[in-house]
Structure 1
Amino acid sequence: MSNFLIKRPQTIFNLFSSISKLNGVGEKRLTVLKKKIGPYIINILFYLPIKAIDRFQNTSLRTIEHGSIITCEVEVVEIIIPPFNFRKKNNISRIITFGLDQEKNIRLDLIYFGQNTKYLRNIYKVGNKIIVSGKFENFSGVGQIVHPDYVTTNNQRNLIPKIETIYPLFIGFNQKFISKLVSECLKQIPYFEEWLSQDTINKLNLPNWKECIVKTHNPNKMSDTELISNYRRRLALDELIANQISMLLIKSKISKEKTIKNIEKHDNILEKLYNLLPFKLTKNQNEVVNEILSDLHSNNTMIRMLQGDVGSGKTIVALITMLSSISDGSQSVLLVPTEILAIQHFNTINEFLKPLNINVCLLLGESKGSYNKKERLAIIEDIANGSIKIIVGTHALISEKVNYKNLSLAVIDEQHRFGVNQRVKITEKGSNVNILVMTATPIPRSLALTAYGDMNISTITEKPKGRKPIKTYVLPQSKIEDVLKSIKRAIENEALIYWVCPLIEESESTDLIAVNERFDYLKNYFKDCNISLVHGKQDKIDRENSMNDFKNGKSKILVATTVIEVGVDIPNATIMVIECAERFGLAQVHQLRGRVGRNDKESSCILLYKTELTPIAHSRLKILKDTNDGFVISEQDLILRGPGEVLGSKQSGNVDFKFVDLHVHSDLIELARKEASNLIKNDKERLKINTLLSIFENNEAIKLLKGG
């Protein structure tokens, strides 16, 4: 199935009909709905309620509490409706009612502001008994409902839903309109052939797909709306199966049978590298190297992820992998997301390989000019003829203009900045390309299985010997003077300091401190000290000069944006200051903090927060203060921010789930993997697979399989 392309089955065409055919959807509304929800009926079905209300949980005026929803029967005793005046928008109409039977002495007022008086006079008559439903408020001792949600007679009680689902709204649309749209779409769900195995259906007591969608929008009881309900678990399982099928298909697209290398016939290049290293690999690094070399010697191309905390020594493992791959004369590339990181890796690798007489080249985009057009073309030509064996670069490495003589390995660093599309593209640059992706952000197992189910995973948990834990301090912005004094003392002791700000310049929409403003402030404060500035909008040469000045100790403080988040390795930097730390994700702050503590010296990280912290922000900063363990932090980050934020914009497309909550449904992942494998093996007509992948088409891997 390596060449599998998704083809939408005819049986589900109706789900992809335009919502323009639905009642009440004119041209104006259509434009908004397309933008906010989506263009098709399936998008409406997947527009999930954010909560549900049990309208008949409270029916007594005697026991109802302020702010609760009540549905009760009352009698209208007085109608106070002023003459309607278009010029007066604050007309107040009051319908005075009293309860029935044991509650006939309890008053309930129905309040309307600016309501059309003719409409009110038509629905309210003195002496009428009505059922009213809405939010109860105690106003100066008198109960009231402002603009009731439902008003009807006893024989039309069924018009008030027992359990009402509430949808997220946007300007120009109310709950009743969205609910009507959903109801109309529910009637158009076609019959599906069951894709789950009968064994799984029986074991988990799962309803069919259609019933689950219906009950998600029209629950019979409040428990039907919970994430642990059988309806939601069934939909989550289906979505996970689609996810796992897409991962398996991508793997089959990338992974190929290959000729096994015989690296022993070459001149023991790895042994020479090991002898040159100024340190010994940790036990954990050696284990990971053996896993990778085993893959390189196997019958199929490698697709492996290497994850390890910041500073755990992934780069040397990557270099060993690259040297192993070029030992038969083929080529290796190291693909990185940013120019700064590319230059950093190039310099590091070049330094290691100089004694081995192995040429390494750096390839950046056409506009990135540390070399002229002629020099760049010469590098591309040398890559094409195979004279350069190791190439470090950015997205330029997968450009159509760049061809390889014999590419056998692609290492992708900081893989969360790249999508699955880039992984596939780089493998298409050679016939048997092994893939090693690296991340310094440890990924929780549930997230790794759903985002990277096509890969085997190696993990480095040990830190190199001699590394000390980074001391983290959390301080309000008002303490900045104390921070500056302590930094002054540190500079006198030859310390180098990172100072990170979130923005480049002031924005009207936020009060974050701009990096340029902070740079000017610190220059004025530390008059006798050189200070460097680095941000993404800088000229490349200026940025390189700033980094080099800081690395060489010519400048003592590097003021920067998050461009230094990954890859920047300056062992003598021992202090990290992060402003507005409450605005960052846990993993990102941990990444930034990892720029210090890269030697045997004491290092510290100061997290400054600008505003009064919310309970969640406080707990996030406390986690960072209490632990340096990236695996613990990543689990907490997933809980607080969700998979999309943790993985980054490129990779979040792989887990853009509608029904799955990884905290609640992680137990379904292994089952989903099993069901996905069974479907790929047994669904010879591919009808079930195509149905599943078409329904859950909102992920990057599936879009790629569609040829998009």
Structure 2
Amino acid sequence: MKGRPEILFPLFAGLETLEGVGPKTARNLEPLGVVAPRDLLFTLPYSGVDRRLLPSLETAVLPATLTVAVTIGTHWPPAAKGGAYRIHVEDSATSFQLVFFHARGDYWKRQLPEGSRKIVSGRVELFDNMAQMVHPDFIVPEENASDIPVYEPVYPLTNGITQKLMYKATRATLTRVPQLGEWIDPSQKDQAGWPDFADAVIQAHHPHSDADLAATAPARERLAYDELMAHQLTLALARAKERRKKGRSSIGDARFRQRVLNGLPYQPTGAQTRAIAQITKDMASPHRMNRLLQGDVGAGKTLVAFMALLAAVEAGGQGVLMAPTEILARQHFEVLRPLALQAGVMLEILTGRDKGGERRAKLAALATQGIKILVGTHAVFQADVAFSDLRLAIVDEQHRFGVRQRLELGQKGQNVDVLVMTATPIPRSLALAQYGDMDVSVLDEKPPGRQAIRTALVSTDRIDEVIERLRAAMAQGRQSYWVCPLVEESEVSDLIAAEQRFQRLRATLGEGVVGLVHGQMPPNEKDAAMQAFQRGETKVLVATTVIEVGVDVPNASIIVIERAESFGLAQLHQLRGRVGRGQAASTCLLLYQAPLSASGRQRLEVLRATEDGFVIAETDLKMRGTGDLIGTAQSGVPRFRVADLEKQAGLMQIAQSDARKLLAVDPDLSSPRGKAARVLLWLMRQEEAIRLITVG
């Protein structure tokens, strides 16, 4: 694919090529994400000022920005140096004052001679019962009324950039917008009533009323769709490339899977059965699998994953399951060991802790297929780890692993199938933005026997009652978690909070029954504390959020989350899922510091009302916005300039199916619409995608 098409050159030239933009202004525009004229096109006004001409100010509700024709009256120069210069003016029904500071000599006498007619536009306020317009934004002769915009767009600004400058720079850029071929499906465009690209940009920068600023205004919606379409085309190209990669067909005879299913005390849910069928079908196909398994806390992802691993073994190969931490890897190992015994399949674990002879023995067994299924941390990435015939790699908790690591894992075997598991229910729009290159299986049912968890909101001034509640649970042989608040970003302050809570609970409940685990501990101490709790030696575990993902202690039936209002909803939901795993009725106590803000209470109420992670995630997205929800720095979710993922999830879905359809009929984008789509990719800076397009 050649470089950027010539038709786009003017939009990607230096900012200084725009009239009125010098090197200093260009530097000042950078914080707005503006480094080329093209970026100004997508920096849209966020509000507007109505400057329609009024007959008079008489009935206006002040303060307000108003435009009116006036006759200039008496001038009152300032009495003292630096005072206000005032001019009395009259419109058709009332009078008011124009006020100027730092007036020089007789400048205003010359500009606004007594008796002349002008149109003035600016903010009018009452001062000592007199209406005043201080430093009008516009003063023009009546015959030049059209110089004042009827509705003036208001742009986002940054240090050293004024509205006037933004207005001029965007107007200069609009003269460069070329007529481009259409990349949107014609029926989609007609049905939505969208303008062509060039018209859309011009309309978006020339709003006539507040309605034109809404995300649903046709011009804006079209530009949002263009951004989403370019992003989804990139993901669809990546997906198509993955799919073109030769995979290996892994077809098992179900003998191991059947043994495990026969031994289960319950039937798998419909959602589990469906997911297993989708995954084994992908594995049997000659293309590489790239699938996301999304399931709420306790939806039974582990069983689905194990079935997939067994299918790989039945087909004569090996499988690996990777977890982000050693605690989780060990836990997966403990959960899977009895199932592997039942199937009669050799399962082993490899972490950074394996050293010397033990490690060498495991590596030798891997290389000769003595080990069929390996559970591990990212230690399995190391160069000396070689499989005999790796067919399936499963990654647990995607957000800790980048796309790059997914690929590295795939290189450990020949055309390895990849399955990513996440316990974080992701709202549909974000899942499409982040994992649009993958196929998705969703587990949306809870396996039988999972207990409902009672959730209660408790103010922190009742903390003593809460501690007594834990004492009563201990007397019945039950265990509890106590999660400490997220203080600031620094781990040190989280640590102090946890240490203090640990000391206090130990003093109240007794030595030896309270454990502590936090992120700053050496891994072996952390594991020892977790294991003591898993074995039931400690009854209460004080923890920072290290326990949020996957830790399984069926005997724990209470979780206390301190300063719950400082956590995100999705994270609270994850934490709550640590209880309700055994036979006993379980409780989650959300301790909050009074007074709670209205939105803080609303968020915690959502948690009390539902245990459905998908509902919670959607609510969290609406209330907090994309960036906060997943910590944008490491989320892999793209930043859009016009599109709004929270409000335009539906558009993202249309863009995804449109992009996939276009590539299905025109894989190398060589039709007229395909060529237009290539221009779109360049326009949206999707160089990544452009590299993926195979030439010819």
Q: TM (normalized to structure 1)?
A: 0.86
Q: In the alignment, is residue 553 of structure 1 matched against residue 536 of structure 2?
A: yes
Partner of 1:444: 427
Partner of 2:371: 388
CA distance in 2, matches of 1:218, 1:513: 54
C-alpha distance 219-421 of structure 1, shift in aligned 2 (>3 A):
farther
Partner of 2:606: 623
Partner of 2:670: 684
Alignment of 1:19-58 (within 5 A): 19-22=15-18, 29-56=25-52
How much has 1:146 moved relative to structure 2? 4.7
Which of 178, 202, 207 is the aligned partner of 2:190?
A: 202
Q: In the alignment, is residue 341 of structure 1 matched against residue 324 of structure 2?
A: no
Alignment of 1:291-370 (within 5 A): 291-354=278-341, 356=343, 358-364=345-351, 368=352, 370=353
CA distance in 2, matches of 1:704, 1:335: 30
Which of 5, 10, 13 is the aligned partner of 1:14?
A: 10
How much has 1:636 moved relative to structure 2? 1.3
CA distance in 2, matches of 1:658, 1:603: 45
CA distance in 2, matches of 1:351, 1:451: 35
C-alpha distance 79-335 of structure 1, shift in aligned 2 (>3 A):
farther
Alignment of 1:452-601 (within 5 A): 452-503=435-486, 514-528=497-511, 530-601=513-584
C-alpha distance 10-473 of structure 1, shift in aligned 2 (>3 A):
same
Alignment of 1:148-187 (within 5 A): 148-187=136-175
CA distance in 2, matches of 1:507, 1:261: 47
C-alpha contact 1:163 1:222 (8 A) present in aligned 2: no
C-alpha distance 175-352 of structure 1, shift in aligned 2 (>3 A):
same
Partner of 2:586: 603
Q: In the alignment, is residue 413 of structure 1 matched against residue 396 of structure 2?
A: yes
C-alpha distance 43-273 of structure 1, shift in aligned 2 (>3 A):
same
Gaps of 5+ in 1: 86-90
Deviation per CA, 1:21-53: give whole Å up to 9, x if none: 445655555445334414222223222332223
How much has 1:464 moved relative to structure 2? 2.3
CA distance in 2, matches of 1:190, 1:661: 25
C-alpha contact 2:454 2:588 (8 A) present in aligned 1: yes
Deviation per CA, 1:526-568: give whole Å up to 9, x if none: 4445322222232111111121122222222222222222111
Which of 243, 250, 255 is the aligned partner of 1:261?
A: 250
Deviation per CA, 1:624-660: give whole Å up to 9, x if none: 1111111221221222233444455477434433332
How much has 1:480 moved relative to structure 2? 2.7
C-alpha distance 398-645 of structure 1, shift in aligned 2 (>3 A):
farther
CA distance in 1, matches of 2:105, 2:380: 70
Which of 268, 271, 275 is the aligned partner of 1:284?
A: 271
Gaps of 5+ in 2: none
Q: In the alignment, is residue 271 of structure 1 matched against residue 258 of structure 2?
A: yes
How much has 1:457 moved relative to structure 2? 2.6
Give the total of aligned pairs: 688
Task: Give 2:304's aligned amino acid.
Answer: V
How much has 1:291 moved relative to structure 2? 2.7
Deviation per CA, 1:485-521: give whole Å up to 9, x if none: 3333333333322222344779699999833343334
- 3-state secondary structure, aligned to 1:324: helix
Task: Give 1:93's aligned amino acid.
Answer: A
629-638 or 271-280: bigger deviation = 271-280
How much has 1:136 moved relative to structure 2? 3.5
Partner of 1:107: 96
Task: Give 2:611's aligned amino acid.
Answer: N
CA distance in 2, matches of 1:191, 1:470: 59
Partner of 2:68: 72
How much has 1:20 moved relative to structure 2? 4.6
How much has 1:415 moved relative to structure 2? 2.1
Task: Give 1:602's aligned amino acid.
Answer: A
CA distance in 2, matches of 1:515, 1:429: 40
CA distance in 2, matches of 1:67, 1:522: 58
C-alpha distance 461-224 of structure 1, shift in aligned 2 (>3 A):
same
How much has 1:263 moved relative to structure 2? 2.0
Partner of 1:61: 57
C-alpha distance 118-515 of structure 1, shift in aligned 2 (>3 A):
farther
C-alpha contact 1:645 1:652 (8 A) present in aligned 2: no
RMSD: 3.6
C-alpha contact 1:585 1:637 (8 A) present in aligned 2: yes
C-alpha distance 482-705 of structure 1, shift in aligned 2 (>3 A):
farther
CA distance in 1, matches of 2:107, 2:582: 77
C-alpha distance 123-591 of structure 1, shift in aligned 2 (>3 A):
farther
Partner of 2:355: 372
622-631 or 580-589: bigger deviation = 580-589
Task: Give 1:307's aligned amino acid.
Answer: Q
Partner of 1:88: none
Q: TM (normalized to structure 2)?
A: 0.88
C-alpha distance 110-246 of structure 1, shift in aligned 2 (>3 A):
same
How much has 1:592 moved relative to structure 2? 1.2
How much has 1:164 moved relative to structure 2? 2.2
C-alpha contact 1:408 1:430 (8 A) present in aligned 2: yes
